[in-house]
Amino acid sequence: MRQPLDAITGSLPADGDQLLDTLILRAKTLLGKERFTQIHDLAGDTLVDDIRKDLSQFRVNFDHWFSENTLVTGNAVARAVEKLTGNGLMYEKDGPLWLRTTDYGDEKDRVVIRANGNHTYFATDIAYHLDKFERGFDMPSISGVRIIRLYQAGQGFDRRIRPRPRCAHSITGAIRCTVPER
Protein backbone atom coordinates (compact mmCIF):
# COMPACT_ATOMS: atom_id res chain seq x y z
CA MET A 1 0.00 0.00 0.00
CA ARG A 2 2.12 2.89 -1.28
CA GLN A 3 1.18 6.44 -0.40
CA PRO A 4 2.69 9.66 -1.72
CA LEU A 5 5.14 11.24 0.71
CA ASP A 6 2.90 14.30 1.00
CA ALA A 7 0.18 12.09 2.51
CA ILE A 8 2.49 11.57 5.47
CA THR A 9 4.59 14.74 5.68
CA GLY A 10 2.36 17.47 4.21
CA SER A 11 1.65 20.54 6.40
CA LEU A 12 3.21 19.34 9.65
CA PRO A 13 3.03 21.45 12.83
CA ALA A 14 6.27 22.97 14.16
CA ASP A 15 5.60 22.02 17.81
CA GLY A 16 7.36 18.76 18.69
CA ASP A 17 4.48 17.15 20.61
CA GLN A 18 1.94 18.15 17.96
CA LEU A 19 4.28 16.92 15.22
CA LEU A 20 4.59 13.50 16.83
CA ASP A 21 0.84 13.26 17.43
CA THR A 22 0.14 14.25 13.81
CA LEU A 23 2.57 11.70 12.36
CA ILE A 24 1.15 8.93 14.55
CA LEU A 25 -2.41 9.82 13.56
CA ARG A 26 -1.48 9.83 9.86
CA ALA A 27 0.29 6.48 10.17
CA LYS A 28 -2.78 5.00 11.91
CA THR A 29 -5.04 6.39 9.19
CA LEU A 30 -2.89 5.10 6.33
CA LEU A 31 -2.19 1.67 7.85
CA GLY A 32 -5.43 1.03 9.69
CA LYS A 33 -5.59 0.29 13.41
CA GLU A 34 -4.73 -3.42 13.19
CA ARG A 35 -1.68 -3.01 10.93
CA PHE A 36 -0.48 0.03 12.88
CA THR A 37 -0.70 -1.91 16.15
CA GLN A 38 1.20 -4.87 14.66
CA ILE A 39 4.00 -2.64 13.38
CA HIS A 40 4.09 -0.63 16.61
CA ASP A 41 4.32 -3.76 18.77
CA LEU A 42 6.93 -5.41 16.54
CA ALA A 43 9.08 -2.26 16.51
CA GLY A 44 8.83 -1.91 20.29
CA ASP A 45 9.72 -5.56 20.92
CA THR A 46 12.66 -5.33 18.51
CA LEU A 47 14.04 -2.22 20.20
CA VAL A 48 13.74 -3.74 23.69
CA ASP A 49 15.45 -6.95 22.53
CA ASP A 50 18.30 -4.89 21.07
CA ILE A 51 18.64 -2.92 24.31
CA ARG A 52 18.68 -6.14 26.38
CA LYS A 53 21.43 -7.58 24.16
CA ASP A 54 23.49 -4.39 24.39
CA LEU A 55 23.16 -4.27 28.18
CA SER A 56 23.99 -7.96 28.44
CA GLN A 57 27.28 -7.32 26.64
CA PHE A 58 28.11 -4.88 29.44
CA ARG A 59 27.00 -7.50 32.01
CA VAL A 60 24.03 -5.36 33.02
CA ASN A 61 21.02 -7.57 33.62
CA PHE A 62 17.66 -6.68 35.12
CA ASP A 63 15.39 -9.03 37.04
CA HIS A 64 12.32 -7.04 36.05
CA TRP A 65 11.63 -5.05 32.89
CA PHE A 66 8.98 -2.37 33.14
CA SER A 67 7.00 -1.29 30.07
CA GLU A 68 5.80 2.31 29.96
CA ASN A 69 2.68 1.02 28.20
CA THR A 70 1.60 -0.84 31.36
CA LEU A 71 1.29 2.53 33.11
CA VAL A 72 -1.32 3.57 30.56
CA THR A 73 -3.18 0.27 30.14
CA GLY A 74 -3.13 -0.34 33.90
CA ASN A 75 -4.55 3.15 34.56
CA ALA A 76 -1.49 4.26 36.57
CA VAL A 77 -1.34 7.54 34.63
CA ALA A 78 -5.03 8.23 35.29
CA ARG A 79 -4.59 7.40 39.00
CA ALA A 80 -1.53 9.66 39.29
CA VAL A 81 -3.38 12.55 37.63
CA GLU A 82 -6.36 11.97 39.91
CA LYS A 83 -4.19 11.95 43.05
CA LEU A 84 -2.22 15.03 42.01
CA THR A 85 -5.45 16.84 41.12
CA GLY A 86 -6.85 15.89 44.53
CA ASN A 87 -3.76 17.39 46.16
CA GLY A 88 -4.26 20.67 44.29
CA LEU A 89 -1.15 20.21 42.15
CA MET A 90 -2.94 20.21 38.77
CA TYR A 91 -4.78 22.97 36.96
CA GLU A 92 -6.25 23.54 33.51
CA LYS A 93 -5.08 26.49 31.41
CA ASP A 94 -5.84 27.08 27.73
CA GLY A 95 -6.87 23.44 27.21
CA PRO A 96 -4.00 21.36 28.64
CA LEU A 97 -3.82 20.06 32.21
CA TRP A 98 -0.73 21.44 33.94
CA LEU A 99 1.28 20.30 36.97
CA ARG A 100 2.54 22.92 39.42
CA THR A 101 6.20 21.88 39.13
CA THR A 102 7.32 25.42 40.01
CA ASP A 103 6.24 24.54 43.57
CA TYR A 104 9.08 21.97 43.48
CA GLY A 105 11.84 24.11 41.99
CA ASP A 106 11.13 23.85 38.25
CA GLU A 107 11.49 26.98 36.12
CA LYS A 108 7.95 26.61 34.73
CA ASP A 109 4.89 24.40 35.19
CA ARG A 110 4.67 21.37 32.87
CA VAL A 111 1.86 19.98 30.73
CA VAL A 112 0.70 16.52 31.86
CA ILE A 113 -2.38 16.06 29.67
CA ARG A 114 -2.46 17.82 26.29
CA ALA A 115 -5.51 19.71 25.04
CA ASN A 116 -6.32 16.72 22.78
CA GLY A 117 -6.57 14.46 25.86
CA ASN A 118 -3.32 12.57 25.26
CA HIS A 119 -0.86 12.33 28.13
CA THR A 120 2.74 13.53 27.84
CA TYR A 121 5.87 11.51 28.62
CA PHE A 122 6.05 13.63 31.74
CA ALA A 123 2.74 12.05 32.87
CA THR A 124 4.12 8.53 32.52
CA ASP A 125 7.28 9.54 34.40
CA ILE A 126 5.18 10.75 37.32
CA ALA A 127 3.03 7.61 37.22
CA TYR A 128 6.20 5.47 37.17
CA HIS A 129 7.60 7.15 40.29
CA LEU A 130 4.24 6.90 42.05
CA ASP A 131 4.07 3.20 41.13
CA LYS A 132 7.58 2.69 42.58
CA PHE A 133 6.52 4.30 45.87
CA GLU A 134 3.31 2.28 46.04
CA ARG A 135 5.22 -0.97 45.36
CA GLY A 136 7.53 -0.17 48.25
CA PHE A 137 10.58 0.10 46.00
CA ASP A 138 13.63 -0.19 48.22
CA MET A 139 15.18 3.27 48.32
CA PRO A 140 17.83 4.42 50.76
CA SER A 141 16.65 6.94 53.31
CA ILE A 142 18.25 9.39 55.71
CA SER A 143 16.18 10.39 58.74
CA GLY A 144 13.04 9.04 57.09
CA VAL A 145 13.56 10.95 53.83
CA ARG A 146 13.75 8.68 50.78
CA ILE A 147 16.63 9.26 48.36
CA ILE A 148 16.25 8.82 44.60
CA ARG A 149 19.18 9.07 42.20
CA LEU A 150 18.27 10.62 38.88
CA TYR A 151 20.47 10.58 35.80
CA GLN A 152 20.52 13.58 33.52
CA ALA A 153 20.54 13.58 29.75
CA GLY A 154 21.74 17.13 29.20
CA GLN A 155 21.95 20.67 30.46
CA GLY A 156 18.77 21.88 32.13
CA PHE A 157 17.46 18.33 32.51
CA ASP A 158 18.10 18.46 36.26
CA ARG A 159 15.51 21.22 36.81
CA ARG A 160 12.93 19.37 34.74
CA ILE A 161 13.41 15.86 36.17
CA ARG A 162 13.68 16.61 39.91
CA PRO A 163 10.03 17.67 40.32
CA ARG A 164 8.65 14.41 38.87
CA PRO A 165 9.28 12.05 41.77
CA ARG A 166 8.73 14.88 44.25
CA CYS A 167 5.27 15.57 42.82
CA ALA A 168 4.44 11.87 42.75
CA HIS A 169 5.70 11.40 46.28
CA SER A 170 3.94 14.51 47.59
CA ILE A 171 1.04 12.16 48.16
CA THR A 172 2.94 9.94 50.58
CA GLY A 173 5.88 11.75 52.22
CA ALA A 174 9.30 13.33 52.04
CA ILE A 175 11.79 12.72 49.26
CA ARG A 176 15.19 14.03 48.20
CA CYS A 177 16.48 13.70 44.64
CA THR A 178 20.18 13.56 43.85
CA VAL A 179 21.76 13.91 40.43
CA PRO A 180 25.32 12.58 40.09
CA GLU A 181 27.96 14.67 38.32
CA ARG A 182 29.04 13.51 34.89
58 vs 178: which has the higher pLDDT: 58
Q: Say if pTM beats, i.e. exceeds, 0.85.
A: no
Domain 66-182 in CATH 3.40.50.620? The answer is yes
Residue 89: pLDDT over 50:
yes
Mean pLDDT over 103-122 rounds to 87
pLDDT score recorded for residue 151: 44
Measured between alpha carbons, how far is 87 from 103 in angstroms, rounded to an integer?
Answer: 13
- Please give the average per-residue pLDDT across 175-181, as a whole number: 51
Q: What span, in angstroms and rounded, lies between the C-alpha atoms of 62 and 54?
A: 12
Task: Quote the crossing angle between the two packed helices 121-134 and 76-86, to the nearest 10°.
Answer: 90
**Model pLDDT for residues 119-165, shown as the tens digit of each residue:** 888 888 888 877 777 777 665 555 555 545 444 444 444 455 555 55
Predicted confidence at residue 91, as pLDDT, reads 95
Parallel, antiparallel, or unpaired for β 145-149 and 175-178? Answer: parallel
State the pLDDT at residue 97: 96
Phi-psi region of 48 (alpha: psi -120 to 50; beta: other; left: phi over 0): alpha
More confident residue, 55 or 136: 55
Query: What's the pLDDT band for 98 if we cut at 50, 70, 90?
Result: very high
pLDDT at 22 > cutoff 60 = yes
